[in-house]
Chain A
């Protein structure tokens, strides 16, 4: 983004000077669109809820009114697609997962290019401070589809007390994982040694980390590559862990079952999103005995999965300029520091230097571990979840299916990967 270089330099300087939350540069008129009402279609996750929670501050600051329409992810997408398909101006700002639907939405012209709006940002809006990895991921065909709002990725939550009691060290390599799980199962039979996502349409999120750490990738030379040696190793490892050491019914597990299981002390290791941190710690029972780490490296090194929700503006909105005010406010350094204290990892490295935030992190050791994991994700993360094709959402099905088939012992690794390759090649060809 060459055009933004100057802005970046400016805002960088500004940020150093002004780190107090809600500090406003005097020359930026937040009240320019006073009286305007904008509609925000939000996902009912930590990010969406946090923005909704602070919306009164925005309304006070700008004199605008925000209508927050919150849905659970699937319903939100259903509504969003319906609204955009009808080219309706009903929604001004919406949340999007670029790593999932980005290519499709961008192809459909359903994103406003936010690059053009950056000029109309408050001086303390440090655009350059946003995670370059995420900004890069949100840029499609040179257009900025969305502003990253958070960074998240699956990390290992584990019970250090159980590891200590059983005399097991946290594995330093991915392929040592089954041994650790086995040892825990042996010394603590009542406890689920390992839990992660088994739900077909949800597991690409956790599974991709295994694929990348094993040195695999989804696609090679325009073909599905699931039967390559690293991919097969990842498939065998992930499905095997869940099959041997996972809880009953893990094939239906996604974030909520996983955090319930871990929170109540019935799992030794949980591989789940950083966003689930508050849910895992709820009630305080796990704060003392939990440690957090990224997935141990494998033959492919350590490539944590990292992605973020983004805030986008509908191209059919008739209030795109006011909508941008909400987007820049929600993604501003000041707001992101606030959000971080609600457990939403900010896509801005500098937040970590915010004194209030520092104090917050320092209050509990586990928070520091969590922050470290988030940092690692932001630094080295890959957002390749599923196939890097326009039909990314549809590609997640066969991936999940291959894992579940092995997990349920319906197919061998070879059969499962070959079948998945076939479906995915058809999907790629069908585009």
Chain B
């Protein structure tokens, strides 16, 4: 049925208002990052000002921003890959056998406060000699990414008709081969979404890196706090850093938004 024009207009107007509410703080952040230290604390706040790249120049020039970004990328990609490698087969097994405790077990870490892990993990990784290596961060971040992969993929695997997997069995696939040749290609949209979410949540997580990283492996998000320091609180610089840190997740979201909506919703509804 065709919706009346005024109703459609009403929807657009409401979306517009919500859009402004959602985007205004983001816009303000980006705007502030182009303000000089004087403009950024000016009151009343100004929309019209002489934009400057100083904050970015300063940020990239005087802090190891690029190094931190590289660390973040290594840790994030590493933990996302590890999360997928561990999570995909596990989700497949849970979907096949309907035995759900392994999936629940991987969620246990999400029920505890993150600070609970800091002291014991430090002790543990020190014993393993992994403190200050990327592995400590990749492994701990995989604790975050793996459940995401499992829970996003579970409904996708569940949605594959059992008969297709049985046909593969009759055709001569073992379980491992049926995952690789049949199931995985069929959940590729879910896999994209799972990877994106795993990437984003790993990129955004700061608590573990605070303790398990050192000056050479520190991630961007853990370093972000350093932009608020005594004697030098630099709101413009802070906003420039915030903007740059937020950029990768936002770009990813934009790039895959169509998949994200279909894939995530499917996952979330059934998970």
Contact of B231 among A46, A70, A283 (CB under 8 A): A46
Residue of A nearest to B218 (CB): A69
Q: Is B97 an interface residue (CB 8 A)?
A: no
A44 to B235, CA, bound (A): 15
Is A88 touching B225 in the complex (CB atoms < 8 A)?
Answer: no
Is A82 touching B122 in the complex (CB atoms < 8 A)?
Answer: yes
Contact of B230 among A39, A255, A260, A264 (CB under 8 A): A255
Is B225 touching A71 in the complex (CB atoms < 8 A)?
Answer: yes
Is B131 touching A255 in the complex (CB atoms < 8 A)?
Answer: no
CB contacts (< 8 Å) of B131 on chain A: these are: 88, 90
Stretch binding the partner chain, chosen from A122-130, A274-282, A365-373: A274-282
CB contacts (< 8 Å) of A44 on chain B: these are: 225-226, 229-230
A86 to B232, CA, bound (A): 32
Stretch binding the partner chain, chosen from B77-85, B139-147, B208-216, B260-268: B208-216
A45-B229 contact, Cβ under 8 Å, with A39-B215, A78-B211, A263-B41:
yes
Q: Which bracket fits the contact residues of B? A: 20 to 34
Is B37 touching A283 in the complex (CB atoms < 8 A)?
Answer: yes
A71-B119 contact, Cβ under 8 Å, with A46-B231, A49-B229, A263-B41:
no
CB contacts (< 8 Å) of B43 on chain A: these are: 264, 266
Tally chain A residues at the interface, Cβ within 8 Å: 40
A73 to B211, CA, bound (A): 14
CB contacts (< 8 Å) of A273 on chain B: these are: 230-231
A275-B230 contact, Cβ under 8 Å, with A264-B41, A282-B37:
yes
Is A88 touching B122 in the complex (CB atoms < 8 A)?
Answer: yes
A123-139 residues at the B interface, CB under 8 angstroms: none
CB distance from B65 to the nearest CB of A (A): 13
Report which A residues bind B (CB closer than 8 A): 39, 43-46, 49, 67-75, 78-79, 82-83, 85-86, 88, 90, 255-256, 259-260, 263-264, 266, 273, 275-279, 282-283, 285, 343
Q: 8 tightest CB-CB pairs across the interface, nearest first?
A: A256-B233, A69-B215, A45-B230, A44-B229, A72-B225, A46-B231, A82-B122, A44-B226
Task: Offer 19 A-B interface pairs, CB within 8 angstroms, sorted by A.
Answer: A44-B226, A45-B231, A46-B232, A69-B218, A72-B225, A72-B226, A74-B225, A82-B122, A86-B122, A88-B122, A88-B126, A88-B131, A255-B231, A255-B233, A256-B228, A259-B231, A277-B231, A278-B231, A279-B232
Can you name 16 extra interface pairs (CB under 8 A) apart from A260-B41, A278-B232? A45-B229, A46-B230, A78-B118, A82-B118, A85-B119, A85-B123, A86-B119, A86-B123, A88-B122, A88-B126, A90-B131, A260-B233, A263-B41, A264-B41, A266-B43, A283-B38
